[in-house]
């Protein structure tokens, strides 16, 4: 495999044009185009272009929605200087560090409002914990996008579900010509999803290759935006990296410039090191350690996270795809990128498994009935089988349930098929000599099945661990990649997509415990292990509380993970409206990793690894019927231009 560290990519729009041009000569079966679209909601006051920033009522202000509609809140005043709160209970003395959370803090600029939950301007919340005391501070991520929108007092940078409102100062000709600016020229750096650390550097993340480094003391941006494509050949990356005990960070990102066509890539960021007195950063050492070919050339799968066990990376290639043609055309036609997403319920979801030591993609094709996942929980090997736990739903329409018009409608309720449950799949390894048409899952106590077919494909069926709606899963990260017992998450209310309860789940039995307080909403729970913990659930679980009545109320909640009871809370009065968050990370010095072997230091160099990433697959540009053909070296997938079958 060729080392790609330092290789820069050409602009995304150029790759899409090249891919599209290459596919023009290929013959494909015509398929009715029935693209998922936003629910038809009544437009406020003035009609706008499809997907354009909506015009809010003239009397609307940034804080006009009722406090109970937390996803429609906008913070009008930051809490820049850390403030002390009122504490009840006792914060553990050993708990020292900072909890930084990220989420949308503003949904409206002037008379324009975002359309989708994922579009709001990034707002950082931080709880600083030391010696049993806690302070709170918050600030807008000072991205280029935020500054431009604020200066113009309208949405001028397009987001996932919102197209920038046309500049009223431009002539008709100027507006027309602006449609032909390539995607990426004015790309958003609104890093609204999460945060991560590369060594002692903190970065705000989204699902583009643009990061923003943040000073953890002030929450101010440090320098200009960081462009991953200047360090590594990727055009996209997730906001859910994994971290090894030695500090090595792994992430996944798409590349549209590979010789084999689009690929899903595992990216490695080694810890910073000093060579001849010069510090080489993690970014400067970034490299692609594995590449998984995209089965549909013009329809790469959307993914929000990936799994990592001690020995394998696990990527779920789901029939929830980006139409690259629509992505390109929507840009030129002034439509949102959201409209380029399609869901193919008749296609299979595939588990693509990669050996961490070599970067080799396993030849075995693991398939399951279509499902959609955003969040992996954990993965581990046991008795020659790979256990994969994740939160999943049965219908890809979920992406349109969180349009802000839906969240503003008190009568709207998400259908059950779009609500996530916690699920387990078991993938048998080394199946070359296994019997055909027999269940290869031998782990006790599981309803999961895996049947090897004559083609070599392994059809897997998972089990729902617990029936309640469960997402944003977290674990004691010391058990990441290892057999574990507990997952922690939120129970989601289908009305308003509210995070109503905190959940502790025994993943082996499905038994759950919940924490709930009337009138309050919770956030993703973050587990912090006690320094000398001897049990998996020994430590503290951190979450934030918002009030559905008081928009300036915010609290840090500390739970005992073993008893699932409150041991402390610190309540703060913010300077302005407190907004909800998606994800966050705790950074402290209390965690010990000596119980886990360090990885990444004993592996062969890139030059010593096999030249091939895995099986050579014939590409097409669209998802096919999923037929698997037998080849000398294992199953070879039939590649096509786009997925066949109905879309929703």
How far is it, in rounded angstroms, from Cα 327 to Cα 118?
A: 17
Q: 406-425: b or e for each residue (b if 16 or more CB lie within 10 Å)? A: bbbbeebebeeebbbbbbbb
Three-class SS state of 106: strand
- The tokens describing 96, both together, are 């020292």
Give the whole-angstrom CA distance, residue 113 versus residue 43. Answer: 11
Residues paired with 391 in a beta bridge: 375, 422
State the CB neighbour count (10 A cutoff) for residue 461.
Answer: 15
Residues 6+ apart with CB under 8 A from 94: 530, 531, 590
**Is 304 known to sit in a ligand binding site?**
yes
DSSP assignment of 228-239 equals GGGTSS-S---S
Look up tokens 């706008």; give the residue.
48
Residue 422, annotated as binding a ligand: no
Supply 366's token pair. Answer: 């693991």
Sign for the CA dihedral angle at 430, 482, 248, 252 comes to: positive
Query: Which residue from 122, 258, 268 is spatially nearest to 583, judged by alpha carbons?
Result: 122
583 is in an annotated binding site: yes
Spatial CA neighbour of 80 closest among 149, 159, 137: 137
Assess contact for 154 and 165: CB atoms under 8 A.
Answer: yes
Cβ-Cβ contacts under 8 Å for 74 (sequence gap 6 or more) = 62, 63, 105, 106, 107, 108, 577, 579
Cβ neighbours of residue 386 under 8 Å, at least 6 residues apart?
309, 312, 314, 353, 379, 380, 426, 427, 428, 429
Contacts of 116 (CB under 8 A, 6+ apart): 159, 160, 161, 162, 336, 338, 402, 403, 404
CA atoms within 13 A on the CB side of 369: 7
Please check if 125 is assigned to a binding site: no
The candidate with the shortest Cα–Cα distance to 398, out of 38, 22, 97, is 38
Annotated binding site: 240, 304, 375, 583
Annotated binding site for Fe cation: 240, 304, 375, 583
């Amino acid at each position: 495999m060729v080392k790609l560290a330092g290789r820069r990519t050409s602009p995304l729009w150029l790759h899409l044009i090249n891919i599209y041009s290459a596919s023009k000569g290929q013959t494909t079966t015509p398929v009715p185009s029935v693209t998922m679209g936003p629910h038809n909601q009544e437009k406020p006051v003035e009609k706008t272009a499809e997907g354009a920033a909506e015009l809010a009522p003239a009397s609307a202000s940034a804080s006009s929605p009722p406090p109970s509609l937390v996803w429609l809140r906008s913070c009008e005043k930051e809490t820049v200087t850390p403030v002390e709160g009122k504490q009840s209970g006792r914060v553990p003395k050993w708990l020292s560090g900072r909890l930084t959370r990220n989420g949308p803090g503003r949904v409206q600029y002037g008379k324009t409002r975002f359309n989708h939950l994922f579009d709001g301007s990034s707002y950082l919340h931080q709880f600083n914990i030391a010696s049993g005391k806690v302070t709170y501070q918050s600030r807008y991520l000072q991205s280029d996008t935020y500054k431009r929108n604020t200066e113009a007092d309208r949405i001028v940078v397009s987001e996932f579900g919102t197209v920038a409102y046309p500049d009223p100062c431009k002539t008709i000709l100027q507006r027309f010509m602006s449609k032909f600016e390539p995607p990426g020229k004015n790309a958003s750096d609104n890093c609204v999803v999460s945060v991560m650390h590369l060594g002692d550097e903190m970065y705000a993340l989204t699902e583009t290759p643009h990061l923003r480094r943040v000073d953890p003391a002030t929450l101010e941006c440090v320098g200009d935006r960081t462009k991953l494509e200047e360090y590594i050949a990727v055009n996209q990356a997730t906001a859910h990296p994994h971290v090894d005990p030695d500090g090595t960070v792994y992430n996944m990102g798409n590349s549209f410039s590979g010789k084999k066509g689009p690929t899903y890539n595992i990216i490695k960021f080694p810890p910073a090191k000093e060579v001849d007195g010069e510090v080489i950063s993690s970014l400067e050492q970034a490299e692609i350690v594995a590449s998984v070919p995209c089965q549909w050339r013009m329809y790469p799968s959307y993914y929000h996270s990936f799994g990592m066990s001690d020995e394998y990376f696990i990527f779920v290639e789901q029939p929830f795809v980006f139409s690259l043609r629509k992505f390109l055309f929507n840009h030129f036609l002034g439509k949102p990128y959201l409209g380029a997403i399609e869901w193919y319920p008749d296609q299979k979801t595939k588990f693509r498994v990669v050996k961490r030591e070599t970067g080799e993609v396993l030849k075995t094709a693991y398939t399951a009935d279509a499902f959609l996942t955003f969040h992996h929980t954990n993965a581990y090997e046991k008795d020659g089988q790979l256990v994969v736990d994740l939160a999943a739903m049965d219908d890809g329409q979920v992406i349109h349930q969180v349009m802000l018009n839906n969240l503003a409608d008190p009568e709207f309720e998400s259908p059950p098929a779009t609500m996530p449950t916690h699920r387990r799949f078991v993938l048998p390894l080394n199946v070359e000599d296994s019997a055909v048409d027999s269940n290869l899952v031998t782990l006790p106590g599981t309803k999961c099945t895996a049947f090897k077919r004559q083609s070599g494909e392994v059809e897997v069926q998972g089990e729902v661990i617990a029936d309640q709606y469960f997402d944003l899963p977290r674990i004691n990260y010391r058990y990441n990649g290892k057999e574990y017992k507990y997952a922690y998450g939120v129970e989601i209310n289908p009305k308003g997509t509210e995070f109503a309860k905190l959940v502790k789940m025994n993943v082996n039995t499905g038994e759950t415990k919940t924490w709930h307080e009337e009138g309050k909403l919770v956030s993703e729970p973050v587990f912090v292990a006690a320094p000398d913990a001897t049990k998996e659930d020994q430590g503290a679980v951190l979450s934030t509380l918002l009030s559905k009545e008081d928009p300036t109320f915010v609290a840090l909640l500390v739970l005992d993970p073993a008893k699932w009871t409150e041991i402390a809370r610190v309540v703060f009065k913010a300077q302005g409206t407190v907004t909800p968050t998606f994800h966050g990370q705790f950074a402290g010095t209390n965690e010990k990793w000596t119980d886990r072997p360090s990885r990444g230091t004993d592996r062969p160099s890139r030059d010593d690894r096999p030249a091939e990433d895995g099986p050579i697959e014939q590409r097409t540009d669209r998802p096919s019927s999923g037929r698997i053909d037998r080849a000398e070296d294992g199953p070879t997938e039939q590649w096509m231009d786009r997925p066949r079958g109905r879309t929703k």
